[in-house]
Structure 1
Amino acid sequence: MASIKVRRLSLRVLWQKIRPSSLWDWSLRFWFSFIFLVVESVTSVATPWLFSRMVGRLSGHEAVMAAIMALLAQYTLLRMMGAVAGPVRSLIMVPVRATLRERISLLGLEHVHSLGARFHEGRQTGALTRILDRGADAASTIVDMIFSNVLPNLLGLGLTFLVVLRVFSGLYLVLLCGTMLLYGGVSFLFTRWRMRARRERNRANGNAHRHLVDSLLNADIVRAFGNAGHERRRQEESWKELRRAEIRLQTLIGSSQAIRNIIISLATASLLGLAVLDIHAGRIGVAQFVLMGTYLRSVYASVGALNYVGAGWRNARVDMEAYLELMALEPEIRSSAVPVPLPAGQAGGVTLEMRHVSFGYDPERLILRDVSFRLEAGRMLAVVGRSGSGKSTLARLVSRLYDPLAGEVLMEGVALPALSLETLRAQIGVVAQDTSLFNATVGENIAYGRIGASREAVRQAAEAAQLGAFIDRLPEGLDTLVGERGVRLSGGERQRMAIARVILRNPRLLVLDEATSALDTRTEEAIQQELLALSAGRTTVVIAHRLSTIQQADHILVMDGGEVVEEGTHHELMEKAGIYAGMWRLQAGGGSVGGHSDVEG
């Protein structure tokens, strides 16, 4: 997400994305909430005034009991109305806040999944989850502040000022407004400082969380290298940085509160002193003095709450900055604005073609150079070569995880960018060397290949991938949890589950990126038979380092340095006595060519 110029999605555009198709329900809730808000504000201002009238009656020379009881009844009724209006108003807005948070979170999740492989290869999972959570929380907080803080306090202050102006002189109102301006100025200054401190605290918090998640995800490596102490020290440095940022933030918060409390204390003394002078001069009574004291507390509470809103708004905006930056990222791989329908072709497979394709993750360092081939529907293409020769990169371009820098990849004669991503991905099933599993059950992981598949279909796919005996040994069978990233399974078991997932998907184009590299020889031979059966009649691209597994391929590409250096069938390449034949002899003699990884290629 780092770039020379950081872009952020505006809140207006974000609202256009998350607003419901029909605002009728939300509008009704807003209006009913406002009505209860007015009732709550009127009662909160009127009850002190009624209370002061009761005090005036009780302290008068003739206390008329009937009038006092009438005032008491009115006071009780207002208190009850205010007590009910507040909770009802909050309940009315609960679905709006919850729906808004849900929409923000789902929009972020959908956007993250729309971003390309380049983004996901460089992402930090822990920091990304924090961005999504903070964005959703901040949006909900803003709505909550508006309806639970801003509007109630503004209405309360307006009504209070009207009463003060009517009961007291204009000088009281001038002192109150002057105090509010001074209070607001100090709050604004400190809030700006706190924003910077909060942003720094959030950054330190994200780093600490990222280090922690990274350490836990790689717990096996930490234990294997005996680096638990190093991980503790690294996390300790992160916590120290977070502690310093937190102390600075809390220092600013405490200083701001102290200064604002001093302002309130001086203003209160001045206003009450003015009221004492007016009582001495006979312009007001003791009841009005009590009313002024009550309203002072109410005004300062409202001003403090509004200051919290200002700080809360800025804090929420800081929390949403990373979310808005994430949402502003443009997907590298997009569906065509006017997608071309995929020709029907053969029932079992699709034609696949590369024309003079060149590609590099860094344009200055090409991984593939001028690669071309044509694979007819239902045929098998094998790609072999040393590690870093471009084999897996070729598979990523076929799946359109990336687009070529030059040349084009075609399916059924249509360039991949002209197809919708949904159409393209529906044709492809991939079994990669590194298997990804959800922290779910065995059955759910296999069923991910075809959402909604029956339990019987899932079981058949598992049997085809040689998982039947393994599942029978599990305590809960298909309902057994595999753990995070499948940590409870061996590498071979994870890979067989990935194969079962693709068997269930039944794609027209099968991409096997060293799909059996984690299996023992006996299991590999059994699964190879299933993969051969699965690939029959459908187009298959096989990335392999074990040459014995691709002898049945219709065409073989030999990659070296990102280029196709040899191609043909197994027998043709053996007769050439070139690179492929040398690799074959090396493996037949017990050597290894290419390794099990293709980080660069």
Structure 2
Amino acid sequence: MTRIGFALVILLVESATAVATPWLFSRMVSSLSRPETLLAVPIWLIAQYAVIRIISGLASPLREFLVKPVETDLERRVAVLGLRHLHDLSVRFHLDRQTGSLTRTLDRGADAVGTLLSLALFNVLPNVIELIMTLTVILKIFDWRYVALLLVALGLYSTVSYVFTRLRMTARRARNRASNQAQHQLVDSILNFETVRSFANESHEIERYDAARRDLRKAEISLQRYVSLSQISRGFLIAATTTTLLAMAAHDIVLHRLAVAQFVLIGSYLSGLYSSVGALNYVSAGWRNARVDLENYLELLAIRSEIIQVPHPVHLAGKLSEAGAAAVAFRHVSFGYSPARQILHDVSITVPAGTSLAIVGHTGSGKSTLGRLLTRAYDPTEGSVCIDGHDLREIAPADIQNIIGTVPQDTVLFNSSIGDNIAYGDLSASREDIENAARSAQIDAFIRELPDGYETVVGERGLKLSGGEKQRVAIARVILKDPRILLLDEATSALDTRTEVAIQKELAILSQARTTIIVAHRLSTVQDADLIVVLDAGRVVEQGSHPELLSAGGHYAAMWAAQAGENAA
């Protein structure tokens, strides 16, 4: 606030010098117009003029120097607030998001608040102050007719500006929508590069992007049309007002009501007035443009997550080394992604601390949905999911994520070094801890063979690594995290048989002493689990150990026989 206070003081001084300059210049013209002073140059007036010009020249950059840190810090805070809000939103929101348009929304929101501050301190206040000071001087030196004409002209000017600004707002919204769509098409095409290439659909993607850019071109042209018409209208109004005022001044000179110096003064002030009103029109347009840019950002902030934290949550330790394994219970859980799509029906499962649970079933039976409920990606519509006897809705969300370590089917890595990706499991870990985790995941030797070792960049989404290598990085990351609960969500289903066997050995070591929940399709990976639950159409149809379920001759036995037949074939 101190910087803003100094900037306002400098602003007042700058505005005063801007109004005083034409008046001082007219004094010099008046002094030099008298025959008796033609040979005696008014040095003192020139010196005053020089001082005012120096002050005016220094004020603006000094004001910008004071305000720029405040402006950039405000932009930073808004951008960070947007990202924090995005991370607070539920998985449901992120599954439906368009990444390209979302990043543009955040960028525009941050830029817009900087624009608003800049407009207020560098445009609105300076020009309003100069307008008031200038009209006051004109009223003092000239008669009321000049002020009345100027006020009428300014009113017409403002009306024209307002009308065209409203039209530009509509056109700018359309341009923003077209820009978002083009950005979405571009990002979506690049992110799915491998799919595009595998289906030889490059031309299709290019056509889609070209169509989006054509729509953007139309929107840009429409916006520029209103900008040009606005400039033409304002230019005509300025020309008409200037002509009328100069004609009035010339007539008053003929009648000896005004001197030549005052004619020069009114001409100088007219230029300043038009500049101020034009700048204020830019403010009006800039304000509305920034408001349009802020609309999507504010709409984003207005979205509330369906995952709500209670005012006084329960806090639980996250690391296995701190509190040991955790117990898990699904109590009469029912859930649907929408009212018309019920996935789980009255599911009850108890997993004692330190034991393993395998959830199996056909595609669409609800296996992965149980895993999402455990991580509180969603809340059950009925019943509860508990850790150590506490409903997940009572536990701090960050604690839930710390307690659970997930190895997913498709491991997504950051476009950073392998070392950084492993360290993501525990950002406070030392280099030695990272290397120990890599050794435990059987990937340390591979990393050391790379030219850059742990500094090797893995590429976008880890594309430079094979599936098995990515899974080992994921395992090392979870080892470093040291969670109390391990969730394996189809962790090896995308791997070849040989790699799967090797990864399974590492997962078996990782799951020792931890409560482990395995979501799997291949039954060969879960036969050692303490409890196997079979889901069918969202209901628990069987549960027990591998030998018990085989001897029962039910769903599990049929699935085992079918998969054994597939493997034999």
| TM-score of the pair, normalised by structure 2 | 0.97
Match in the other structure for 1:302: 276
**Is 1:488 equivalent to 2:461 in the alignment?**
no
Matches within 5 A, 1:344-355: 347-355=323-331
The DSSP-based 3-state class of the residue aligned with 1:354 is strand
Question: Residue 105 of structure 1 is aligned with which of 73, 79, 84?
Answer: 79
Question: Residue 192 of structure 2 is aligned with which of 218, 238, 242?
Answer: 218
Match in the other structure for 1:531: 507
- Displacement after TM superposition at 1:319 (Å): 0.4
The DSSP-based 3-state class of the residue aligned with 2:257 is coil
Cα distance between partner residues in 1 of 2:5 and 2:326: 57
Cα distance between partner residues in 2 of 1:424 and 1:208: 38
- Displacement after TM superposition at 1:341 (Å): 3.8
**Is 1:244 equivalent to 2:218 in the alignment?**
yes
- Displacement after TM superposition at 1:544 (Å): 1.4
Deviations 1:476-509 (A, max 9, x none): 1111111111121222222221111111101001
Question: Residue 172 of structure 2 is aligned with which of 198, 207, 211?
Answer: 198
The DSSP-based 3-state class of the residue aligned with 2:337 is coil
Query: How many equivalent residue pairs?
Result: 567
Q: Alpha carbons of 1:484 and 1:133: their partners in 2 closer, same or farther (altered >3 Å)?
A: same
The AA in structure 2 aligned to 1:30 is I
Match in the other structure for 1:501: 477
Equivalent pairs: percent with the same residue?
53
**Is 1:580 equivalent to 2:562 in the alignment?**
no
Deviations 1:242-286 (A, max 9, x none): 111111110010001001100000000000001101111111111
Match in the other structure for 1:4: none
**Is 1:379 equivalent to 2:355 in the alignment?**
yes
Question: Residue 411 of structure 1 is aligned with which of 368, 377, 387?
Answer: 387
Question: Residue 414 of structure 2 is aligned with which of 424, 438, 442?
Answer: 438
- Displacement after TM superposition at 1:447 (Å): 0.6
Cα distance between partner residues in 2 of 1:69 and 1:388: 92
**Is 1:31 equivalent to 2:2 in the alignment?**
no
Task: Say if 1:458 and 1:504, in contact at 8 Å, map to a contact too.
Answer: yes
The AA in structure 1 aligned to 2:134 is T
- Displacement after TM superposition at 1:308 (Å): 0.5
Task: Say if 1:586 and 1:592, in contact at 8 Å, map to a contact too.
Answer: no
The DSSP-based 3-state class of the residue aligned with 1:358 is strand
Matches within 5 A, 1:70-469: 70-342=44-316, 347-469=323-445
Q: Which is worse superposed, 151-160 or 463-472?
A: 463-472
Match in the other structure for 1:549: 525
Task: Say if 2:28 and 2:45, in contact at 8 Å, map to a contact too.
Answer: yes
Q: Alpha carbons of 1:135 and 1:343: their partners in 2 closer, same or farther (altered >3 Å)?
A: closer
Q: Which is worse superposed, 571-580 or 486-495?
A: 486-495
Task: Say if 1:381 and 1:554, in contact at 8 Å, map to a contact too.
Answer: yes
Task: Say if 1:342 and 1:414, in contact at 8 Å, map to a contact too.
Answer: no
**Is 1:61 equivalent to 2:35 in the alignment?**
yes
Q: Alpha carbons of 1:583 and 1:591: their partners in 2 closer, same or farther (altered >3 Å)?
A: farther
Task: Say if 1:379 and 1:540, in contact at 8 Å, map to a contact too.
Answer: yes
Cα distance between partner residues in 1 of 2:295 and 2:493: 43
Cα distance between partner residues in 1 of 2:39 and 2:201: 82
RMSD value, Cα: 1.6
Deviations 1:450-469 (A, max 9, x none): 11211111112112222123
Cα distance between partner residues in 2 of 1:407 and 1:241: 49
Cα distance between partner residues in 2 of 1:363 and 1:462: 44
Unaligned runs of 5+ in 1: 1-26, 594-601
Task: Say if 2:317 and 2:323, in contact at 8 Å, map to a contact too.
Answer: no
- Displacement after TM superposition at 1:472 (Å): 2.0
- Displacement after TM superposition at 1:66 (Å): 5.8
The DSSP-based 3-state class of the residue aligned with 1:494 is helix
Q: Which is worse superposed, 384-393 or 492-501?
A: 492-501
Match in the other structure for 1:14: none
The AA in structure 2 aligned to 1:430 is T
Task: Say if 1:55 and 1:287, in contact at 8 Å, map to a contact too.
Answer: yes
Q: Alpha carbons of 1:343 and 1:136: their partners in 2 closer, same or farther (altered >3 Å)?
A: closer
Cα distance between partner residues in 2 of 1:167 and 1:61: 24
Cα distance between partner residues in 1 of 2:207 and 2:509: 53
The AA in structure 2 aligned to 1:400 is R
The DSSP-based 3-state class of the residue aligned with 2:405 is strand
Cα distance between partner residues in 2 of 1:493 and 1:287: 84
Cα distance between partner residues in 2 of 1:498 and 1:394: 21
- Displacement after TM superposition at 1:162 (Å): 1.4
**Is 1:510 equivalent to 2:486 in the alignment?**
yes
Q: Alpha carbons of 1:104 and 1:212: their partners in 2 closer, same or farther (altered >3 Å)?
A: same
Match in the other structure for 2:534: 558
Task: Say if 2:317 and 2:399, in contact at 8 Å, map to a contact too.
Answer: no
- Displacement after TM superposition at 1:67 (Å): 6.4
Task: Say if 1:194 and 1:249, in contact at 8 Å, map to a contact too.
Answer: yes
- Displacement after TM superposition at 1:585 (Å): 2.1
The AA in structure 2 aligned to 1:382 is A
The DSSP-based 3-state class of the residue aligned with 1:407 is strand
Deviations 1:145-195 (A, max 9, x none): 000000000111111111111111111111111110000000001111111
The AA in structure 1 aligned to 2:302 is A
